[in-house]
C-alpha cells in the first residue's frame, strides 16, 4: 500500500486553518478553528469534572499505598473466675501476603483509567468544537449567499417594475419578481436564525455563554486529504484513549484479583495486649491463617478472575471497533471529497456559466427576466449544496482526527496529509438596473439593439 508522509512538523488544525486564516479577507478578527479548539480545551466544564475525578483517583492511590490502619479493640471479660474485666488489644497487620502491593496495583489502574478518561474527554471536547465550528461557518456562508441573493432579486424586481411601468413587460413579470424577493427574504430570515443558533452551539461547545459575541469567516476552506487506513489504524491502536482506558481496566482488574488472592494467604500482625487499663501489657506477633472459609473468599477470587478475563476480551473488542472507526472515517473522507470536487468542477461551474449565459441571452433578447430569476435561484441552490459539501468534508476530517486518536493540537501522524486549496471561483454576472431597457419586447426579453458599451454589474453568488 502506498505510504503517505506526515505533514512535516505541521500543526494538524493549523493545516486546516491555513485557508481559514484568509478569513481576515471577510471579517476582522474572525475566529479560526484552531482558536475554537484551544478555547474549548481551556474553558469547557467537562474537563473540570474529569480533573476532579483524577484528583480522587490520586487520593485513592495514596490511600492504597499507606499501611492498613491499626485496629484497637477494647472488650470486657464476663466469664471466668475473675468475673468482669477489661482487655485492650492493638493490632497492626504487616500485610506480608502481598495485599498492600495488590491494593496499590488496583488503585494505580484506577488512576490510569482516570488519565485515559481525561484524554478521552479532551478528544471529545475538541471534536465537538471542530464540528460546531464548521457548522457555524457553514451557517455564516449560507447567510452571505442568501444576503447576496436577496440583493440580486431586488435588483431584478426593480428593473421588472420599471419596465412594466414603461409598458414593456406584462404584469406577471414584476409579480413573479416580487414573489422571488419575498422568497429570498424568507430564505435570509431562516439563514439569520440558523446562524444565530449555530453561533450559540459553538459558544457552548467552547465552554462560553451562548450569547457571547462571535466573529466568523464567511467562507469555508477547501481541503484535499490523503489518508492511509492501515497506518492510521495502527496509530489509533496506540493513541486512542479508549485503548489506554481498557489497558488501565485490565491493570485494575489484575490488582483486584491479586487482592482477592492475598486475602486467602496467611499474614502477620504486631499486637499489643493489656488485660486491663491499670495492669501490665505486652507486645507480640500474631499469625493470621484464613483456613476456615465458608466460600466467600473463594467466590471473591473467582469473581475477580472472571472480571479480569472480561476486561481482556473487552480490549480485543475495542481494537476491532477502532479499526472500524478509522476505516469508516477514511471512506467518508474519500466520499465527501469526491462530492466537493464534483460540485466545484462540474455542477457549480456549469451553473455559473448557465447563469451568465442567461444574463447575456437576456441582453440579446433570447431569454426573459423570469429565466434570469430561475437561473439565479438554481445557482443559489447549487452554491449552498457546494458549501454544505465542504462543511461535511471538514467535519469528516474532524471525525478522522478523532477516530485516529490524534491530538488536534499536535503534528499530523504518518498516513495523513492535508493540502489546502483556494476557494476563489468566478462570480456570475447580474443584470444592472440601468442596463434594463425601456423598449424591451412585450414578452420581457431585450431587443438585440442593446448598448454594449454599458458595463454589466456583477453580483457574486
pLDDT band at 14 (very low <50, low <70, confident <90, very high): very low
pLDDT band at 83 (very low <50, low <70, confident <90, very high): low
CATH topology of domain 12-435: Outer membrane efflux proteins (OEP) (1.20.1600)
CA separation for the pair 358, 373 (Å, rounded): 9
CA separation for the pair 358, 431 (Å, rounded): 10
Residue 8, pLDDT score: 31
Residue 441 has pLDDT above 50, yes or no: no
Provide the H-helix boundaries in 166-272.
172-205, 229-239, 241-262
The total of other beta-carbon atoms located within 10 Å of residue 22's CB is: 17
Q: How far is CA 20 from CA 32, 104, 401, 407, in A?
A: 6, 49, 18, 19
Q: What average pLDDT does the segment 381-396 reach?
A: 94
pLDDT above 70 covers a percentage of the chain that reads: 81
Residue 21, pLDDT score: 41
pLDDT band at 279 (very low <50, low <70, confident <90, very high): low
Residue 429, pLDDT score: 44
Residue 434, pLDDT score: 44
CA separation for the pair 215, 140 (Å, rounded): 10
More confident residue, 54 or 379: 379
pLDDT above 90 covers a percentage of the chain that reads: 30
Q: What average pLDDT does the segment 301-319 reach?
A: 82
Choose among 242, 257, 259: nearest CA to 326: 242
Q: What average pLDDT does the segment 426-431 reach?
A: 44
Residue 425, pLDDT score: 46
Q: What average pLDDT does the segment 35-57 reach?
A: 88
Residue 461, pLDDT score: 27
CB 112, CB 53: distance < 8 Å: no
CA separation for the pair 36, 18 (Å, rounded): 14
Q: What average pLDDT does the segment 319-334 reach?
A: 94
CA separation for the pair 207, 115 (Å, rounded): 21
CA separation for the pair 122, 40 (Å, rounded): 9
Cβ neighbours for 230, distance < 8 A, ≥ 6 positions apart: 1, 415
Q: What average pLDDT does the segment 182-192 reach?
A: 94
Residue 190, pLDDT score: 96
Residue 134, pLDDT score: 95
Cell of 72: 484497637
Residue 44 has pLDDT above 50, yes or no: yes
Cell of 424: 476563489
- Give Cα 208 distance to the centre of its chain: 16
More confident residue, 334 or 460: 334
Which residues of 63-180 form beta strands (DSSP E)? Answer: 71-77, 85-93
CA separation for the pair 275, 355 (Å, rounded): 105
pLDDT, one tens digit per residue, over 442-459 is 344 333 332 323 322 222
Q: What average pLDDT does the segment 141-168 reach?
A: 88
CB 253, CB 304: distance < 8 Å: yes
**226 HSE (CA, 13 A, CB side):** 12
pLDDT, one tens digit per residue, over 249-269 is 788 778 777 777 777 777 777
Residue 417 has pLDDT above 60, yes or no: yes
Residue 289, pLDDT score: 75
Mean model confidence pLDDT for the chain: 78
More confident residue, 448 or 311: 311
More confident residue, 24 or 160: 160
CA separation for the pair 371, 156 (Å, rounded): 11
Q: What average pLDDT does the segment 181-201 reach?
A: 94
- Give Cα 155 distance to the centre of its chain: 41
Cell of 300: 471473591
Choose the weakest-confidence range: 141-145, 156-160, 181-185. Answer: 156-160
pLDDT, one tens digit per residue, over 332-361 is 999 999 999 999 988 988 898 998 898 888
pLDDT, one tens digit per residue, over 86-111 is 677 777 787 777 877 878 877 778 88
pLDDT, one tens digit per residue, over 103-135 is 887 777 888 888 888 888 999 999 999 999 999
SS3 281: strand
Task: Identify the top-confidence range among 72-81, 281-290, 414-423.
Answer: 414-423
Q: Could you tell me the residue ranges of all domains in the chain? A: 12-435
Residue carrying the nine cell digits 493513541:
239
Amino acid at each position: 500500500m502506498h505510504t503517505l508522509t506526515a505533514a512535516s512538523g505541521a500543526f494538524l488544525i493549523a493545516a486546516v486553518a491555513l485557508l481559514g486564516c484568509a478569513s481576515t479577507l471577510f471579517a476582522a478578527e474572525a475566529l479560526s478553528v484552531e482558536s475554537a479548539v484551544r478555547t474549548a480545551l481551556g474553558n469547557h466544564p467537562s474537563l473540570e469534572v474529569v480533573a476532579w475525578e483524577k484528583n480522587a483517583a490520586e487520593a485513592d492511590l495514596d490511600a492504597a499505598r499507606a499501611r492498613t490502619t491499626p485496629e484497637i479493640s477494647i472488650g470486657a471479660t464476663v466469664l471466668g473466675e475473675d468475673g468482669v474485666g477489661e482487655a485492650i488489644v492493638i493490632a497492626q497487620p504487616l500485610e506480608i501476603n502481598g495485599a498492600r502491593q495488590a491494593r496499590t496495583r488496583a488503585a494505580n489502574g484506577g488512576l490510569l483509567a482516570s488519565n485515559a478518561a481525561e484524554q478521552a474527554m479532551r478528544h471529545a471536547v475538541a471534536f465537538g468544537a471542530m464540528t460546531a465550528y464548521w457548522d457555524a461557518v457553514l451557517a455564516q456562508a449560507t447567510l452571505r449567499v442568501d444576503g447576496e441573493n436577496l440583493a440580486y432579486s431586488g435588483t431584478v424586481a426593480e428593473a421588472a417594475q420599471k419596465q412594466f411601468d414603461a409598458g414593456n413587460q406584462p404584469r406577471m413579470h414584476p409579480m413573479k419578481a416580487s414573489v422571488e424577493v419575498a422568497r429570498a427574504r424568507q430564505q435570509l430570515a431562516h439563514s439569520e436564525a440558523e446562524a444565530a443558533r449555530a453561533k450559540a452551539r459553538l459558544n457552548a461547545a467552547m465552554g462560553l455563554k451562548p450569547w457571547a459575541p462571535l466573529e466568523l469567516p464567511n467562507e469555508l476552506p477547501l481541503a484535499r486529504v490523503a489518508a492511509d487506513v492501515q497506518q492510521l489504524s495502527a496509530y489509533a491502536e496506540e493513541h486512542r484513549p479508549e485503548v489506554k482506558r481498557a489497558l488501565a481496566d485490565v491493570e485494575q482488574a489484575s490488582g483486584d484479583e491479586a487482592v482477592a488472592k492475598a486475602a486467602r494467604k496467611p499474614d502477620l500482625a504486631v499486637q499489643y495486649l493489656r488485660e486491663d487499663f491499670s495492669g501490665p501489657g505486652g507486645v507480640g506477633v500474631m499469625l493470621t491463617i484464613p483456613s476456615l472459609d465458608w466460600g466467600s473468599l473463594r467466590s471473591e477470587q473467582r469473581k475477580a478472575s472472571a472480571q479480569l478475563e472480561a476486561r481482556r476480551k473487552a480490549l480485543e473488542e475495542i481494537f476491532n471497533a477502532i479499526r472500524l472507526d478509522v476505516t469508516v472515517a477514511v471512506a467518508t473522507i474519500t466520499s465527501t471529497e469526491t462530492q466537493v470536487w464534483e460540485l466545484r468542477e462540474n455542477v457549480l461551474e456549469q451553473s455559473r456559466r448557465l447563469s451568465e449565459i442567461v444574463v447575456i441571452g437576456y441582453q440579446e433578447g433570447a431569454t426573459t427576466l423570469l429565466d434570469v430569476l430561475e437561473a439565479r435561484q438554481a445557482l443559489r441552490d447549487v452554491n449552498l449544496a457546494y458549501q454544505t459539501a465542504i462543511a461535511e468534508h471538514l467535519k469528516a476530517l474532524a471525525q478522522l482526527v478523532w477516530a485516529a486518536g490524534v491530538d488536534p493540537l499536535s503534528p499530523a501522524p504518518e498516513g495523513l496529509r492535508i493540502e489546502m486549496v483556494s476557494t476563489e471561483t468566478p462570480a456570475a454576472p447580474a443584470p444592472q438596473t440601468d442596463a434594463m431597457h425601456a423598449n424591451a419586447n412585450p414578452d420581457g426579453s431585450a431587443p438585440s439593439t442593446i448598448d454594449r458599451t454599458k458595463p454589466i454589474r456583477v453580483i457574486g453568488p
